[in-house]
């Protein structure tokens, strides 16, 4: 059959495209741009905030590389305790999300060193919209100005169905990602490191987690995948106030609770998957959430690699690897009807690996947990020879081009090790 053309349809298509109805638009932002510009590649906007105004569902905001030196005058919204620099409250849709992404392989860096709103917590990207994607952005230098209890935040999620991907949050006084509202958010292949609040409460840094997820009742389906957290002054991953289940998978947490020169800071757990340690029984969630931590790695954290943190019920700990944490697995629970700590109950521990710590597992009531295939519950005797490498610097290898975690020999089982034949740990299969 000969090729046919449909002139009327072509004209209609061109018209629709011209109106932006057929094709999603790209908007551009650049450090030397102007918000009075057109938002085009040639005349980019200066701020993501201006780009949000222009963007419709389905559109992509292309953020050019370079340093965006943020100032107090960039604060878009000041509400409650927070001063938000970029406030993303416009939603996409299921079929047409709005994407805010690094342009090609460029590296946009949001340097917030100069943002010091008196008496306010800084929230760099405050997201209340849904069906949004944030990809490839870097945040650094975030300050804390308040000296009593407080926190600042790099990425603050209050929306649903958002994807936060390949974000870098480092050398700030803030929490990397802090999600406190909304369902079905995915935090994918993000890195948070060297975050320490050296200002508030005597500079202990007790709130500076790499990743925090504290959904209220009804906010379900939040997942962290492929994220790394290291040298954060508090915990790597923390869901202490989560009233719904949170999932952590393929995530790595190392040397949290320490500075890069190994000074001790605050809590220092790799995965703090639990909470309510001091909550009166009457204020506990009606259904205690059961968190899942699987295929995760915890190394050298100041306190526990994997910590149930007083949760009044068990969690699912599957195929994780812990090495040289003060305690590799701390399963501490509390009673549900009174604030009394007890050895962990209700946990499911399957195929977890523990090596190199004086304490494989503590605060654990084996008679009230389901455990199988763990190196420490089967009595498996491991030696250095069971591993291809024990060089933890490999944790910092560069990610793959698509953002996935790097391959490494570290903690990978040697070919004939029982770790492989028994399928133990994050790399045992
Ligand atoms: Ca803390
Ligand atoms: Ca914490």
All domains in the chain, ordered by first residue: 11-422 (2.160.20.10)
Looking up tokens 């340097």 gives 111
- Nearest ligand to the CA atom of 232: 2
- Nearest ligand to the CA atom of 241: 2
pLDDT of residue 23: 82
For residue 14, give the DSSP letter.
H
Q: How far is the CA of 119 from the centre of ligand 1 (A)?
A: 21
Q: How far is the CA of 229 from the centre of ligand 2 (A)?
A: 12
Q: How far is the CA of 209 from the centre of ligand 2 (A)?
A: 5
Look at residues 279, 334, 326, 284 and name the one whose alpha carbon lies nearest to residue 306. Answer: 326
Residues contacting 155, CB < 8 A, separation 6+:
124, 125, 127, 134, 139, 164, 167, 169, 176, 177, 178
Q: How far is the CA of 85 from the centre of ligand 1 (A)?
A: 25
- Nearest ligand to the CA atom of 149: 1
Say if strands 77-79 and 82-88 run parallel, antiparallel, or are unpaired.
antiparallel
Q: Rounded to whole angstroms, how far apart are CA atoms 354 and 375? A: 6
Q: What is the dihedral of CA 116, 118, 119, 122, to 10 degrees?
A: -20
CA distances from residue 21 to 5, 6, 97, 115, 157 in whole angstroms, order as listed: 22, 20, 15, 39, 29
Q: How far is the CA of 334 from the centre of ligand 1 (A)?
A: 18
Q: Rounded to whole angstroms, how far apart are CA atoms 252 and 271? A: 9
User: What is the H or E stretch that residue 362 is in?
Assistant: strand 359-362
pTM: 0.94
Q: How far is the CA of 371 from the centre of ligand 1 (A)?
A: 29
Q: How far is the CA of 198 from the centre of ligand 1 (A)?
A: 13
174-191 pLDDT per residue, tens: 999 999 999 999 999 999
Q: Rounded to whole angstroms, how far apart are CA atoms 165 and 239? A: 19
- Helices and strands in the chain, H and E counts: 3, 35
368-386 pLDDT per residue, tens: 999 999 999 998 999 999 9
Q: How far is the CA of 211 from the centre of ligand 2 (A)?
A: 9
Q: How far is the CA of 267 from the centre of ligand 1 (A)?
A: 5
- Nearest ligand to the CA atom of 209: 2
Q: Which region holds residue 169: left if phi is over 0, alpha if psi is between -120 and 50, else beta?
A: beta
- Nearest ligand to the CA atom of 178: 2
Strand order of the β-sheet with 175-179 is 77-79, 82-88, 121-127, 153-157, 175-179, 211-213, 237-238, 271-272, 304-307, 327-330, 359-362
Q: How far is the CA of 158 from the centre of ligand 2 (A)?
A: 19
Tell me the mean pLDDT per 10 residues along the chain, length 429: 46 48 87 98 98 98 98 97 98 98 98 98 98 98 97 98 98 98 99 98 96 98 99 98 98 98 98 98 97 98 98 98 98 98 98 98 98 95 97 98 97 94 92
- Nearest ligand to the CA atom of 273: 2
Q: Rounded to whole angstroms, how far apart are CA atoms 69 and 31? A: 8
Q: How far is the CA of 409 from the centre of ligand 2 (A)?
A: 30
Q: How far is the CA of 23 from the centre of ligand 1 (A)?
A: 47
Q: Rounded to whole angstroms, how far apart are CA atoms 117 and 83? A: 7
Q: How far is the CA of 214 from the centre of ligand 1 (A)?
A: 14
């Amino acid at each position: 059959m000969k090729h046919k053309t449909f002139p009327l349809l072509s004209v209609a298509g061109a018209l629709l495209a011209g109106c932006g109805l057929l094709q999603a638009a790209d908007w551009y932002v650049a450090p030397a741009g102007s918000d009075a510009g057109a938002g085009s590649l040639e005349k980019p906007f200066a701020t993501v905030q201006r780009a949000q105004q222009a963007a419709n569902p389905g559109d992509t905001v292309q953020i050019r590389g370079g340093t965006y030196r943020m100032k107090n005058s960039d604060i878009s919204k000041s509400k409650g305790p927070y001063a938000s620099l970029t406030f993303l409250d416009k939603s996409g849709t299921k079929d047409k999300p709005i994407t805010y992404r690094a342009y090609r392989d460029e590296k946009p860096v949001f340097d917030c060193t100069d943002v010091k709103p008196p008496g306010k917590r800084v929230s760099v990207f405050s997201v209340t919209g849904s069906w949004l994607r944030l990809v490839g952005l870097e945040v650094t230098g975030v300050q804390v100005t308040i000296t009593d209890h407080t926190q600042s935040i790099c990425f603050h999620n209050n929306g649903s169905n958002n994807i936060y991907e390949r974000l870098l949050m480092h050398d700030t006084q803030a929490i990397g990602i802090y999600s406190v509202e909304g369902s079905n958010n995915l935090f994918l292949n993000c890195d948070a490191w060297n975050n320490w609040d050296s200002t508030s409460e005597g500079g202990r840094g007790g709130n500076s987690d790499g990743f925090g997820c504290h959904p209220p009742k009804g906010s379900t389906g939040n997942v962290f995948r492929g994220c790394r957290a290291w040298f954060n002054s508090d915990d790597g991953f923390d869901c202490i106030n989560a009233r719904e289940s949170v999932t952590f998978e393929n995530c790595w947490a190392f040397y949290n609770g320490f500075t890069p020169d190994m000074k001790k800071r605050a809590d220092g757990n790799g995965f703090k998957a639990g909470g309510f340690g001091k909550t009166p029984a009457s204020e506990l969630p009606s259904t205690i959430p059961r968190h899942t931590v699987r295929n995760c790695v915890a190394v050298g954290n100041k306190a526990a690699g994997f910590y149930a943190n007083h949760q009044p019920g068990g969690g699912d700990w599957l195929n994780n690897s812990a090495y040289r944490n003060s305690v590799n697995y701390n399963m501490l629970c509390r009673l549900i009807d009174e604030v009394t700590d007890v050895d962990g109950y209700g946990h499911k521990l399957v195929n977890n690996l523990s090596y190199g710590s004086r304490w494989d597992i503590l605060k654990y009531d084996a008679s009230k947990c389901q455990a199988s295939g763990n190196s420490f519950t089967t009595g498996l005797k491991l030696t250095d020879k069971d591993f291809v490498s024990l060089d933890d610097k490999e944790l910092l290898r560069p990610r793959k081009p698509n953002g996935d975690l790097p391959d490494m020999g570290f903690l990978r089982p040697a070919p004939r090790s029982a770790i492989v034949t028994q399928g133990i740990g994050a790399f045992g299969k």
